Amino acid sequence: MLVLPMDPVDARNVERGSVPARSSLVDSGVYVGGRRVSSPASLAETFADLSGLDDAVAWIGLYLPDRHELSSLAAEFGLHELAVEDAVLAHQRPKLERYGDTLFVVLLAARYLDDSEEVEFGELHIFVGRDFVVTVRHSEAPHLADVRRRLEADQTLLELGAESILYAILDSVVDGYAPVVKGLENDIDEIETEIFVGDRWVSRRIYELTREVIEFQRAARPLIGILQALRAGFAKYRTDEELQRYLRDVEDHVTQVVEQVDSFRQLLSELLTVNATLVAQQQNEEMKNLALASNAQNDEVKRISSWAAILFAPTLIAAIYGMNFQHMPELGWQHGYAFALALMVGSCVVLYVLFRRRDWL
């Protein structure tokens, strides 16, 4: 899920002090030799300071800018209209595009929310030129104020130019993936426990977590291609060797994250299969128990029915000869009583033997 943007004024208060209301400018700094020499309060002041200094680099941070502000940046720095359009509309996939000497990079930062056990994503667009970096945030995260402070504290790195700012942002985004990986790993561990204790809602949680893992893959995997494309241009654009090492290190970290996330998706697929198997086994066991109970009930019915039939035969004979009608046959027979008793016992024995042979008794 994409993080909902906070109010622009609140966002600006997070990264720096107050700036003019209705402005999307979060922070703007002009750097010479790795040191911040000015902090313009508007885009116009930034353009003026940058043009008045030699070997200066401007880092302009924007939050939810409108088309007019981006158009002024495009006019000043020669930004391509397609890249500007993407930055205005947002909802872009992570990518790197080169328009002449200007790089346009789209990143998806991620963070894990412990309370809701969900992953939030924040979209970030970056324009990188020879003497400028423009960052356009469309969500509350990522917070670039910390990145700016760390970079300003490292003059050696910052004096390498605009690409060092891009590296610092990439490094921060990738570092932010580590807590997400840890959070997803904990969720998977919990799911493994829930599967074997028979939690009825575990299948739904597996599906939801799989969806988050897929979204995370879509955010992290394209970074490998982005960093490979940057590495391919090291020689052509004469990227500093130290900066090359830093970027290769970020690429290694991204590769590790992608491999871990790929393993998460495979593991979730296997957990879903295991859960389905366990559910099927449980259902089979329940059906077996029902069948056994039904068989036991049938046996009891057979047993009761057998004894009822056995008792019915002498009852029928006794009922007939107990009617005491005057002209009934055998009433005056000397051996009639013994015969009736023998007939009752004989019918009971015959029925008992028959039911016994059929395993009803």
3-state secondary structure of 339: helix
- Domain match, 275 and 202 both: yes
**Got the DSSP string for 215-236?**
HHHHHHHHHHHHHHHHHHTTTT
Q: How far apart are CA 249 and CA 175, in angstroms?
A: 11
144: tokens are 């670039």
- Domain match, 166 and 303 both: no
3-state secondary structure of 123: strand
- CATH at residue 129: 3.30.460.20
Q: Which of 280, 315, 330 marks a domain boundary?
A: 280
The structural domain count of the chain equals: 2
Instruction: Give the contacts of 264 (CB within 8 A, at least 6 positions apart).
Output: 184, 185, 188, 213
Pairing of strands 132-137, 56-63: parallel
Task: Let me know if 342 is exposed, middle or buried by CB neighbors in 10 A (0-12, 13-18, 19+).
Answer: exposed
> What is the sign, positive or negative, of the torsion defined by CA atoms of 102, 175, 124, 86?
positive
Per-residue pLDDT of the chain (361 residues; tens, 9 = 90+): 333 334 443 444 434 444 344 478 999 999 999 999 999 999 999 999 999 898 999 999 999 998 999 999 999 999 999 999 999 988 899 999 999 989 999 999 999 998 888 999 999 999 999 999 999 999 887 889 999 999 999 999 999 999 999 999 999 999 999 999 999 999 999 998 888 887 778 888 999 999 999 999 999 999 999 999 998 888 877 888 889 999 999 999 999 999 999 999 999 999 988 888 887 777 788 788 888 888 888 888 888 888 888 888 888 878 877 777 666 776 677 777 788 888 888 888 888 888 888 887 7
Q: How far apart are CA 279 and CA 296, in angstroms?
A: 25
- Domain match, 225 and 177 both: yes
Whether 34 is in a domain gets the answer: yes
pTM of the shown model = 0.73
- Domain match, 188 and 306 both: no
At 269, give phi and psi (nearest 5°).
-60, -40
Whether 123 is in a domain gets the answer: yes
Q: How far apart are CA 227 and CA 232, in angstroms?
A: 9
Q: Which of 213, 245, 280 marks a domain boundary?
A: 280
Phi-psi map region of 288: left, alpha, beta (phi>0 left; psi -120 to 50 alpha): alpha
Give me the pLDDT at residue 319, please: 81
- Domain match, 165 and 21 both: yes
Give me the pLDDT at residue 158, please: 92
Q: How far apart are CA 105 and CA 85, in angstroms?
A: 13
Determine the distance from the C-alpha atom of residue 101 to the mean position of all C-alpha atoms in its chain, rounded to a whole number. 38
58: nearest Cα among 146, 156, 150, 129: 129
Give me the pLDDT at residue 1, please: 37
The DSSP 8-state label assigned to residue 90 in this structure reads: -
Q: Which of 235, 252, 280 marks a domain boundary?
A: 280
Q: What does each C-alpha distance from 129 to 153, 163, 252 come to in angstroms? A: 22, 8, 25
Give me the amino acid identity at 103: L
Query: Counting every residue, how long is the chain?
Result: 361
Whether 169 is in a domain gets the answer: yes
Token look-up 């970027």 returns 247
Whether 16 is in a domain gets the answer: yes
Whether 3 is in a domain gets the answer: no
- Domain match, 245 and 307 both: no
DSSP H/E element including 269? helix 241-321
142: nearest Cα among 63, 36, 43: 63
Per the structure, the complete domain to which residue 205 belongs is given by 8-280
Whether 287 is in a domain gets the answer: no
Q: In sequence order, what E strands does 181-337 have? A: none
- Domain match, 254 and 350 both: no
Give me the pLDDT at residue 21, please: 42
Are 62 and 134 within 8 A, CB to CB? yes
Are 112 and 179 within 8 A, CB to CB? yes
Q: In sequence order, what E strands does the chain have? A: 25-32, 35-38, 56-63, 95-99, 102-113, 118-128, 132-137
- Domain match, 309 and 164 both: no
Q: What does each C-alpha distance from 124 to 35, 53, 219, 287, 328 come to in angstroms? A: 25, 28, 11, 55, 109
Q: How far apart are CA 330 and CA 336, in angstroms?
A: 6
